[in-house]
A and B are shown apart, each in its own frame.
Chain A
């Protein structure tokens, strides 16, 4: 652990040095551009793609990791594909019907598809996948929560499966379209968890996995089940696809720029510029849908239980300026709870967020009774200093969030708010979150459906209840919108409810929006056809290597 801390502290220094060295290397050896046209795809070749995250299991029905979604997307097909923000098209299901009460989904399945282990894809496979995910013994950390209202799956015949829900659940199709609910081979699922192998019907099949090191996949030559919105049909182009786990930012960046690998996830924001300016490389960028990286203000504890103080925090901090500085202009400052790429994002709701106005913040604090100022310049009320506690867990720190946090502390100090950031271990941090023992808590939550708002703000979704409502908001009106939007089958009703909710959470000061989670993928210029899907996951089905 101490090595870790030391490591991150030194990272800044080393990063600067390496940046100097590597930019020099790039500019001295930049090759002439090999024509700008993409040409037509070539089959074959081997690609190594670096990821910054590891996983405890490859089972997308169990693991919550982003990297499991990335790898799983190449191995597993889903029943439906999310082809637009609120639009779903056939994939392994050729068509589907939703009962009038919104509780029964009947899927017609694509015929003639087989898993890469030879098992035929049919209604039984769909049933087995669902039952595997909801089985408590599987200890699903994410997929099960996506389909919380799941009741049962019934095999009508080989090619028709019926899913019954305990209550209507509009986000169901979106959940089905994620890789976490990719359909798995029932034969593979029958093995004990210790022998788990990811077997799907997807464009790549699993070869090997070395924990903490790499995952090797090979092309599925018999692939016939591309999603209906794909740019081509039939097998993928790449013969071999390898995902290597490289935790160090500088190591990943150096491996790409020295031509040792063809692609890397998570290019650090301060390197994006230098990579973009070099025509031997490309940078793909996407803003991830879901809840931004936000600071949630606890309405149930201490000074932040006062709406005036929460409004003061929102007015006191110039988030756009801080985000621009810390992230070299590469991340967009968030202006709402959701990222702009989330379905049902309502830009009009942004106006409910107060503009940066430190004078107004001071006035709000005075109005809230924090009228005096102590020797350190912090506001006091009845002799008590205005201190907000914001626990810090180094383990989950990423994207220089600690640096952004320091800048926020400094801004808050200017208007007289002290923000404490105790550095806690995982257990103490977990306890603090469980007990609501904090004023500010930061988090982000990717999901290509506005239902993530319910997970983040509904009163029945607090942390002890398994949700992410760390602001501990409990407003019947807000609950009403969020639950109605989850149950309705009318897209227009959902859109209206979500618009109201987006404005409401800002107006009530449940959060201070931070930055929009953004994914930068760096590739060599020879690696073509990598694209992000609606969910922000890099796709390798259409990828190919130019020679």
Chain B
């Protein structure tokens, strides 16, 4: 991992961010319909609006200018890190996002950790044990194929409506986070443990497994200390997918559990053609993606030192 490697990754990152911003700009501008009308309608409501208000909006946001001019202005603002004012919220985009980001990060990060731990426990406990394995993989298959919305409602019904252990909604403390975390983590845990168990089982069949046992290590020590390392590589590869699942999942979880967050902001902004906010959300997601992917690529080399020398 030389300086050159990092520089190249940083350059690629900037390119990806630029591409994402441009795509979101084009996407919203090439959609049919008069943006001024949609903004005036406030979140997709379709109602007639007086010409005076439409003119006001068109003048304020320059929608009548050629697309190239609008794109130039958009890039200019982007470079200075100023995402401008939201069309609809009367707030700066940076403050809209920073207000909501924390709640979503806590949700997504917690769910990722929980999903990872759950899958690790499941995989280590069931790999190479036929009966436990078939039970576990059935459960995993059910989790993977059940939509998050349904899982959320089911968890709410049992643990909040009936047992009253957790509140339905609210942002106060761990209690209100348990069910959203679980909802988001279960489908992820399902997929990860399937993959992890495959990896574990393959590792356990390797000659080194026998060697380790022959040196006197217990079965558990073999699994945790030696085999898991091998099983982790494909899991790391899946992390990009996991980020996508988390980002998509928070929209559903935030709706079901009535939580404020980036998911809700994004849905409202897309519906209301709130370009500055959409761009902001896209950028946050892209940057998260770039940072995580770069971090993972670096991590690969730690988990499996062989990769480092090959890449060099």
Chain A residues at the B interface, C-beta cutoff of 8 Å: 1, 3-4, 6-7, 10-11, 13-14, 17-18, 21-22, 25, 54, 56-57, 63-65, 136-137, 139-141, 144-145, 193-194, 196, 210-213, 244-248, 250-251, 254-255, 257-261, 393, 395-396, 425-431, 433-434, 461-468
In the assembly, what is the distance between CA of A426 and CA of B272, in Å? 9
Is B150 a contact of A14 with CB atoms below 8 Å? Answer: yes
Is B153 a contact of A56 with CB atoms below 8 Å? Answer: no
In the assembly, what is the distance between CA of A330 and CA of B257, in Å? 27
Residues of B within 8 A of A65 (CB): 42
Residues of A within 8 A of B217 (CB): none
Is A6 a contact of B149 with CB atoms below 8 Å? Answer: yes
Is B46 a contact of A430 with CB atoms below 8 Å? Answer: yes
Is A18 a contact of B157 with CB atoms below 8 Å? Answer: yes
Q: Which B42-73 residues have C-beta < 8 A from chain A? A: 42-53, 55-57
Is B168 a contact of A428 with CB atoms below 8 Å? Answer: no
Minimum CB–CB distance for A456 against chain B, Å: 11
Is A393 a contact of B156 with CB atoms below 8 Å? Answer: no
Is A244 a contact of B47 with CB atoms below 8 Å? Answer: no
In the assembly, what is the distance between CA of A54 and CA of B268, in Å? 10
| 27 A/B residue pairs, CB under 8 Å, sorted by A | A3-B248, A4-B251, A7-B149, A14-B150, A18-B161, A21-B161, A54-B268, A56-B88, A57-B89, A139-B40, A141-B42, A194-B92, A211-B89, A212-B265, A245-B258, A246-B168, A247-B258, A248-B153, A251-B153, A255-B168, A258-B161, A260-B160, A393-B44, A427-B32, A428-B32, A433-B46, A464-B48
Residues of A within 8 A of B304 (CB): none
- Judge if B77 is at the interface, Cβ distance under 8 Å: no
The 10 closest A-B pairs by CB, nearest first: A427-B33, A246-B258, A254-B161, A427-B32, A213-B260, A466-B48, A395-B44, A255-B168, A258-B161, A194-B90
Q: A246-B258, A428-B32 are in contact. Are A64 and B153 (CB under 8 A)?
A: no
Q: State the majority secondary structure of interface residues on A.
A: helix
Is A10 a contact of B147 with CB atoms below 8 Å? Answer: yes
Residues of B within 8 A of A212 (CB): 100, 260-261, 264-265, 268
Minimum CB–CB distance for B169 against chain A, Å: 6
Residue from the list A11, A430, A462, A468 in contact with B38, Cβ < 8 A: A430
- Judge if B267 is at the interface, Cβ distance under 8 Å: yes
In the assembly, what is the distance between CA of A137 and CA of B90, in Å? 12
Closest to A464 in B: B48
Residues of A within 8 A of B178 (CB): none
- Judge if B98 is at the interface, Cβ distance under 8 Å: no
Residues of A within 8 A of B42 (CB): 56, 63-65, 141
- Judge if B154 is at the interface, Cβ distance under 8 Å: yes
Residues of B within 8 A of A140 (CB): 53
Closest to B59 in A: A136
In the assembly, what is the distance between CA of A4 and CA of B267, in Å? 9
Is B162 a contact of A21 with CB atoms below 8 Å? Answer: yes
- Judge if B270 is at the interface, Cβ distance under 8 Å: yes
- Judge if B22 is at the interface, Cβ distance under 8 Å: no
Residues of B within 8 A of A3 (CB): 149, 248, 251-252
Is B45 a contact of A396 with CB atoms below 8 Å? Answer: yes
In the assembly, what is the distance between CA of A465 and CA of B40, in Å? 14
Residue from the list B48, B164, B171, B252 in contact with A463, Cβ < 8 A: B48
- Judge if B91 is at the interface, Cβ distance under 8 Å: yes
Minimum CB–CB distance for B58 against chain A, Å: 12
Interface centre among B48, B99, B248, by most A CB within 10 Å?
Answer: B48
Residues of A within 8 A of B268 (CB): 54, 56, 212
Is A22 a contact of B157 with CB atoms below 8 Å? Answer: yes
Is B162 a contact of A25 with CB atoms below 8 Å? Answer: yes
In the assembly, what is the distance between CA of A430 and CA of B45, in Å? 9
Q: A254-B157, A258-B160, A427-B38 are in contact. Are A139 and B252 (CB under 8 A)?
A: no
A213-B260, A430-B34 known; 18 other A-B pairs, CB under 8 Å? A7-B252, A18-B161, A21-B158, A22-B161, A57-B90, A137-B56, A194-B85, A196-B90, A248-B153, A250-B153, A251-B256, A261-B168, A395-B271, A396-B45, A426-B38, A428-B32, A466-B48, A468-B47
